[in-house]
Structure 1
Amino acid sequence: MKKITDYENKKVLVLGLAKSGVSAAKLLHELGALVTVNDFKQFDQNPEAQDLLTLGIRVVTGGHPIELLDEDFSLIVKNPGIPYTNPLVEKALEMKLPIITEVELAYQIAECPIIGITGTNGKTTTTTMIGLLLNAERADGTARLAGNIGYPASEVAEEAKSADDIVMELSSFQLMGIQTFRPEIAVITNIYEAHLDYHGSREEYVKAKWALQKNMKETDFLVLNWNQQELQELSKTTQATIIPFSTKEKVAGAYLLEDKIYYEDEYIMSSKELGVPGSHNIENALAAIVVAKLKHVPTAAIRQTLMIFTGVPHRTQYVGEIAGRKFYNDSKATNILATEMALSGFERSSLLLLAGGLDRGNEFDELVPSLKGVKAIYLFGETKEKLKKAALAAGITEIHLTENVQSAVQDAYEFSEKNDTILLSPACASWDQYPNFELRGDAFIQAMNQLNDKEK
């Protein structure tokens, strides 16, 4: 990492722990800062704070006392999950105290290029694809995943060498806390309406996403989804060199034409050869192909890598086959749009959909067009009656209400026939029955494995 001296003997407040806060605190301590960590969780239930204390880092736990700001801090490094409406954060903003997120620190110490990926949907899949592509037939260095994908950016940047690339997934929350952050290549997969409870308005949400490119220059590349008119308009306001991708028209980048994928005029592969289904995954692959081409990955390596990529866990992930029935885990589909995208990748006449969970006060009328033609639907959780209404409106004749994901798998399998697909794509949050979408997806896989054991 770069040995910067910017933080020597500076008083810095790290607000909120979790993985990124712990990494930021340790890095700042190593860089000579006088670090105070403040976390809401009580000290006796806070192993992260206990660990930092043993390193000689000051910790304040059990709340976010505004009085901390009397201590003349030079900077706050804020956990992305803490909203700007938090009283301590509001007071810091009033005092014009700089507030950054940990990805800004990562940029400041990184010796190698950073590729930044954001968007409403597809960030994790696209980030993972890019990482795999950049490591295909690589002679020197490694493409390292970082950021919102689960690896603290500052920790990865500390370890990365100059021959590496950091492929960084970035949320809108993280991007609100950047100052000088400048990726060599940036990708925006798409922009839809999301996180309005945090941002307050769609305008502020889009502004946070668009901040990814704010420091980029003509020598940097900004990869944009040309299917979206909004991104076409925004492209007029950046200094970066635009490389578009599209599934609807030929563009000066990556595009889909008659089920074939091209980069500029070069044929890359058939879209049907992609290892993951769905029109949204074609978009993700196009974005990843642009980055791979900009980084000079051979076409044959791109095709081979994307053919064997079967998805990120819980994101339209192929998990196995039993007696001719294929199983896909899309537990990450916690909203209607994500489920619509998943459904677009399957032949509905042989599709059995598992859905339900906790809604956000919404109805499911928007989902009706995507449900039309589905062979059978299995509904669970608090939203099952609402989803039943949508299924009836879509003309689905086989509608089954069941207890949970596990029973849905069992019921769907018993009804299914050879060459059918059983898809978990809930269109809802998991919290009514499962602590998170990962555990819901794990329950789906476990139920499938139990069926497999019985069939053996």
Structure 2
Amino acid sequence: MDNYFNLYYFCLYIRGESILNKRYLLYGYGITNQAVKKFFDLHHIAYIIYLDDEKDGLPFEKIFWQIDYVIKCPGIKFDTPFLKRCYELNIKVISDLELLYLLYKEYEYIIITGSNGKTTTSYLTYQMLDSSNLFQHGLGGNIGVPLFSLLLDQRVHRGIVIEASSFMLHNTYECKPKIYVLTNLIPHHLDYHKNVEDYYFDKTKIIGNLDKSDYLIYNYDDEIVSSYVSKFHVPFKISFSYHHHLATCYIKEQSIYYQGNQILTLEEINNPQIPVIYDMMVAIIIAKIYHIPHQQIQKVLQDFKGLDYRFQTIYEDNHLVIINDSKATSPEASFYALKSIHENYPSFYKTVILGGKMVDDNYDHINDQINQIDEVYLYGSSRFILLNKIHHNKVFYFDTLEEVVDQIAIQPNHLILFSPSCVSYDQFSSYIQRGKKFNELIGKFIKK
């Protein structure tokens, strides 16, 4: 008798949702499915773990008839032979986000997605809600906290703020958040998605699940976002904009306004860079939806100092600005950083540092921004590839980040942006280690 599943014990009701006779396979064993496994173990749910490895003891074809749901780790590509066979056999392949929704439909989900800026937006939104004792212990997803890890100690209250990547959204079908936030769209992860249209589809398809009790929050300034949003009939569409007063939340006379009412001035913000202001506008809108008092909103925004290595201003005076954006692991992320410094520091001499190990080679859309930079430094294993991608007449390239910093000569009114646009794994274990190293090296320019 096959012992992969013991159906006599496979019965569980979670908050009214029956999962009787559902048979699961965890495809991949990264931190996402490790958390799902712990949840299944806690509730005595049977499962198979399949690693897509020749050494895996489970026979490839034998297991298909035993599966109702495949829970796919987000990092696995969409077109593996195993997944193709699942689709041929009409086996449901879902993400942990979809599974979470199927099991806990009564939770309120705030899903935040976009091509860039999701982490800071998610964190700040959660801080805003938590300040009023809402959504306690409810922040997870692509931010680094697996969704099912939030359920292990049963401390989640009311709902969850979820940073969602396109990998998570790809295998969602019924998932319906109370609030869906679309920060921006730019071609990204085309090594996973077949084309840019498929990428945009995965980012926007959940909008079609929203009903009259839900909210769609979107970036009015992003033409691609606005175009996609216009295709959906959602009663509550709420926009935010840095440039247009037609939006619900906008900038006017160096202040953030919501529905015509001033929230706070930009001078009251610790780091009034454009990406941060966009993040704050989203948090303000969500705070208003949940009726958080005006003074509480102001306090959270005034206290927010940003997240480490995410367009973080580590030094600023009248003549020198240094920004550490080590978290920028793709050209898309660097695009927004470059755009921001052009708008915030038009008169400064600008140096940008790019480099590391290239994963995404789509640099076409950032060259217009690069052309407004005064000098570009490249380093790392992909420096020669970057040299062919970057169109600029003043480019220097070196092996290590240390060599780059050693070569920089401070100019009057100088801005230095470290926004690598590549992953860190050629010389560092993570973007965090890389960011720490940059702070250590650049410290020689900072007045004590």
TM-score, normalised on structure 2?
A: 0.84
In 1, the alpha carbon distance for the partners of 2:268 and 2:171 equals 39
Residue 356 of structure 1 aligns to which amino acid in structure 2? G
CA contact (8 A) 1:66 1:87 kept: no
- Of the candidates 17, 20, 24, which is equivalent to residue 32 of structure 2? 20
Which residue number in structure 2 is paired with residue 199 of structure 1?
Answer: 193
Which residue number in structure 1 is paired with residue 380 of structure 2?
Answer: 381
Alignment partner of 1:30 is 2:42: yes
For 1:52-67, what aligned pairs fall within 5 Å after superposition?
62=56, 65-67=59-61
In 2, the alpha carbon distance for the partners of 1:130 and 1:380 equals 35
For 1:320-399, what aligned pairs fall within 5 Å after superposition?
320=315, 325-346=320-341, 347=345, 349-359=348-358, 362=361, 366-372=365-371, 374=373, 376-384=375-383, 393=392
Which residue number in structure 1 is paired with residue 245 of structure 2?
Answer: 250
For 1:81-230, what aligned pairs fall within 5 Å after superposition?
81-110=75-104, 112-136=107-131, 138-139=132-133, 142=136, 144-159=138-153, 161=155, 163-230=157-224
Which residue number in structure 1 is paired with residue 283 of structure 2?
Answer: 288
CA contact (8 A) 1:330 1:425 kept: yes
The alpha-carbon distance between structure 1 residues 313 and 162, as it changes in their structure 2 partners (threshold 3 A), is closer
Percent sequence identity over aligned pairs: 27
Residue 404 of structure 2 aligns to which amino acid in structure 1? A
Residue 404 of structure 1 aligns to which amino acid in structure 2? T
Alignment partner of 1:39 is 2:35: no
CA contact (8 A) 1:5 1:31 kept: no
1:162 shift after superposition: 6.7
Moved more, 327-336 or 1-10: 1-10
The alpha-carbon distance between structure 1 residues 310 and 388, as it changes in their structure 2 partners (threshold 3 A), is farther
The root-mean-square deviation of aligned C-alpha atoms, in Å, is 3.3
The alpha-carbon distance between structure 1 residues 306 and 406, as it changes in their structure 2 partners (threshold 3 A), is farther
Structure with more helix by fraction: 1
Which residue number in structure 2 is paired with residue 422 of structure 1?
Answer: 416
1:389 shift after superposition: 7.6
1:109 shift after superposition: 3.9
SS at match of 2:218: strand
SS at match of 2:422: coil
1:209 shift after superposition: 0.9
The alpha-carbon distance between structure 1 residues 64 and 260, as it changes in their structure 2 partners (threshold 3 A), is farther
CA contact (8 A) 1:13 1:37 kept: yes
1:252 shift after superposition: 4.8
The alpha-carbon distance between structure 1 residues 306 and 26, as it changes in their structure 2 partners (threshold 3 A), is same
Which residue number in structure 2 is paired with residue 406 of structure 1?
Answer: 402
1:282 shift after superposition: 2.5
Residue 326 of structure 2 aligns to which amino acid in structure 1? S
Matched residue pairs, number? Answer: 430
The alpha-carbon distance between structure 1 residues 384 and 209, as it changes in their structure 2 partners (threshold 3 A), is same
In 2, the alpha carbon distance for the partners of 1:64 and 1:409 equals 51
Residue 378 of structure 2 aligns to which amino acid in structure 1? L
SS at match of 2:61: helix
SS at match of 2:125: helix
Residue 246 of structure 1 aligns to which amino acid in structure 2? S
1:292 shift after superposition: 1.6
1:228 shift after superposition: 2.8
The alpha-carbon distance between structure 1 residues 34 and 427, as it changes in their structure 2 partners (threshold 3 A), is closer
Which residue number in structure 2 is paired with residue 53 of structure 1?
Answer: none
Moved more, 213-222 or 355-364: 355-364
- Of the candidates 247, 254, 258, which is equivalent to residue 263 of structure 1? 258
The alpha-carbon distance between structure 1 residues 99 and 4, as it changes in their structure 2 partners (threshold 3 A), is farther
Which residue number in structure 2 is paired with residue 309 of structure 1?
Answer: 304
Which residue number in structure 2 is paired with residue 69 of structure 1?
Answer: 63
1:70 shift after superposition: 3.8
CA contact (8 A) 1:76 1:97 kept: yes
SS at match of 1:214: helix
- Of the candidates 2, 14, 19, which is equivalent to residue 7 of structure 1? 19
The alpha-carbon distance between structure 1 residues 434 and 234, as it changes in their structure 2 partners (threshold 3 A), is same
The alpha-carbon distance between structure 1 residues 141 and 344, as it changes in their structure 2 partners (threshold 3 A), is closer
CA contact (8 A) 2:351 2:417 kept: yes
Unpaired runs of 5+ residues, structure 2, are: 1-12
SS at match of 2:138: strand
Alignment partner of 1:234 is 2:228: yes
In 1, the alpha carbon distance for the partners of 2:273 and 2:134 equals 33
Which residue number in structure 2 is paired with residue 54 of structure 1?
Answer: none
In 2, the alpha carbon distance for the partners of 1:103 and 1:361 equals 25
In 2, the alpha carbon distance for the partners of 1:92 and 1:233 equals 34
